[in-house]
Amino acid sequence: MAESKQLLHLVFGGELKSPDSLEFKDLSRLDFVGMYPNFAEARKAWAAKAQRTVDQAQMRYFVVHLHRLLEPDDDHQH
């Protein structure tokens, strides 16, 4: 079986200035959850963190598709 291509994803979060903002209250307090080899693994980590902070409206977690930033022209080669 062929090994699937590694597609790096970063999961992080923190407290936003307001629930309808994407600006963080304090960058020094960001929670870097981890780096994952694919979206499925990253989504699991994101869901676990999001579930733990569900009662905190200003806490938000995100999945960043780092592979898209590292290989911006990759999609155009196929």
Which architecture characterizes domain 9-17+32-77 according to CATH? 2-Layer Sandwich (3.30)
- In tens, the pLDDT along 32-64 reads 999 999 999 999 999 999 999 988 989 999 999
Rounded to two decimals, the pTM is 0.80
Query: Is 25 in contact with 17 (CB distance < 8 Å)?
Result: yes
Cα–Cα distances (Å) from 74 to 4, 9, 13, 78, in that order, read 16, 16, 27, 7
At 57 the pLDDT is: 87
Encode pLDDT of 19-31 as tens digits.
889 999 999 999 9
Burial 42-54 (b: 16+ CB within 10 A, else e): beebbeebbeeee
* Distance from the Cα of residue 21 to its chain's centroid: 17
Percent over 90 (pLDDT), the chain = 69
